């Protein structure tokens, strides 16, 4: 059951600016198991998109993956380190094994092509001998799974609404039977009802196809009810990782704890909601301490000195849960 499908080891992505270097993704390690849904949350600039781009080898200049391994375990095959592949070799894995659905679906589809041409192009890029009827039959089937009508195949992107485009892209991402799919803010910019619908579709597809999903978002409430495990990113670092229930009930990093109380919901007591003080960090100007220290309640209360060197690793807290806060026992005692 807990067979790994993807192991990310010490992945570091740097952006070289004229006078300094920004580490948008700093030494991130995480393992994704086959068939599970992993959520990654973080504020804008926390590096969650960069992490996904790093994994999929999509980082563009001036950005560069400077260290780390991305080990992919194909079903019944030998593990490969995706980082060592040439672009041509990587292209074989992209879409057939690893696919992605990005934010702003509006911009992903080519406005001059009909939806069916997107499906055909994608398949032919990997298998030039595929028969058109077969591809379209499969596309129809996938579209019905995301509850779109057949006529969508003959539409141009501008004829579809935002929710329909997003569903089209989800269907498109599945055309080559991938086994891991990366979703980066797939529901941002959509209305709540459409969002609900897309989450429902994703959950069902995950169940039917046994897919593995990595789900990035800034809004914890969207994925709380969907994911199995949750990773929290802050200032380019993974600060906590663990089973979703524990992360909610027993967070062991002050940032995670703060995020959980920062989101207004429809049920709980409004007076208990609290914002995290301060501002998200500037990656070009990071404090020479624990990166969360300037906003941390434990640091402010003097419970923790925020030693940078000791935040260089993750510490096991609860079963299956890891935190970058070395003072977590002191901080979360009460």
Q: Which residues bind other proteins (CB under 8 A)?
A: 43-44, 147, 161, 163-164, 191-197, 199-200, 203, 218-222, 224-226, 244-245, 248, 258-260, 262-267, 270, 273-277, 279-280
**DSSP code per residue over 272-314:** G--PPSS-PPPTTS--SS-TTGGG-HHHHTTS----TGGGSS-
Q: Which residue's CB is nearer to other proteins, number 179 or number 185?
A: 185
Q: At its nearest, how many Å lie between other proteins and the CB of residue 197?
A: 5
Cβ closer to other proteins: 277 or 316? 277
Q: Which is nearer to other proteins, 113 or 262 (CB)?
A: 262
Cα angle 294-236-190, degrees, rounded to a multiple of 5: 100
Minimal distance in Å, beta carbon 82 to other proteins? 31
| Nearest CB to other proteins, comparing residues 32 and 220 | 220
Minimum CB separation of residue 178 from other proteins in Å reads 24
Q: How far is the CB of 289 from other proteins (least distance, A)?
A: 19
Report d(CA 33, CA 5) in Å as an integer.
5
CB-nearer residue toward other proteins: 80 or 199:
199
Q: Which is nearer to other proteins, 85 or 226 (CB)?
A: 226
Instruction: Give the tokens for residue 212.
Output: 């593995």
Q: What are phi and psi of 192, to 5 degrees?
A: -55, -40
Q: Name the 3-class secondary structure at 34.
A: coil
Least distance between other proteins and beta carbon 276 (Å): 4
Residue 197 tokens, joined:
């619908």
**Which residues, in sequence order, are CB contacts of 196 under 8 Å at separation 6+?**
none
- Helices 115-126 and 132-145 meet at what angle, rounded to 10? 120
Is 166 within 8 Å of 190 (Cβ atoms)? yes
Least gap, CB of 84 to other proteins (angstroms): 36
């Amino acid at each position: 059951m807990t067979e790994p499908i993807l192991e990310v080891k010490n992945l570091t992505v740097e952006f070289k600016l004229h006078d300094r270097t920004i580490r948008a993704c700093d030494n991130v390690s995480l393992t994704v198991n086959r068939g599970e849904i992993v959520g990654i949350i973080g504020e804008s600039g926390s590096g969650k998109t960069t992490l996904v781009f790093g994994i999929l080898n999509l980082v563009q200049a001036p950005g560069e993956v400077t260290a780390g391994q991305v080990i992919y375990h194909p079903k019944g095959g030998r593990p490969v380190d995706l980082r060592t592949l040439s672009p041509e070799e990587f292209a074989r894995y992209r879409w057939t094994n690893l696919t992605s659905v990005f934010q702003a679906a509006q911009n992903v589809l080519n406005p001059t092509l009909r939806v069916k041409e997107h499906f055909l192009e994608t398949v032919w890029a990997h298998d030039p001998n595929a028969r058109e009827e077969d591809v379209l039959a499969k596309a129809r089937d996938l579209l019905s799974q995301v509850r779109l009508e057949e006529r969508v195949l003959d539409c141009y992107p501008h004829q579809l609404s935002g929710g329909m485009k997003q569903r089209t892209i989800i269907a498109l991402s599945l055309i080559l039977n991938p086994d891991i799919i990366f979703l980066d803010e797939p529901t941002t910019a959509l209305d709540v009802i459409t969002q609900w619908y897309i989450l429902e579709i994703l959950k069902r597809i995950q169940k039917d196809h046994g897919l593995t999903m990595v789900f990035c978002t800034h809004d914890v409430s969207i994925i709380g009810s969907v994911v199995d495990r949750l990773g929290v990113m802050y200032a380019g670092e993974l600060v906590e990782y663990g089973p979703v229930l524990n992360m909610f009930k027993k967070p062991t990093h002050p940032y995670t704890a703060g995020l959980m109380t920062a989101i207004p919901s429809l049920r709980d007591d409004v007076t208990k909601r609290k914002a995290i003080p301060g501002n998200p960090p500037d990656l070009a100007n990071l404090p020479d301490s624990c990166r969360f220290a300037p906003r941390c309640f434990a640091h402010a209360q003097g419970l923790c000195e925020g030693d940078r060197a000791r935040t260089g690793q993750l510490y096991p807290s609860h079963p299956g849960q890891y935190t970058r806060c070395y003072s977590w026992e002191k901080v979360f005692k009460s």
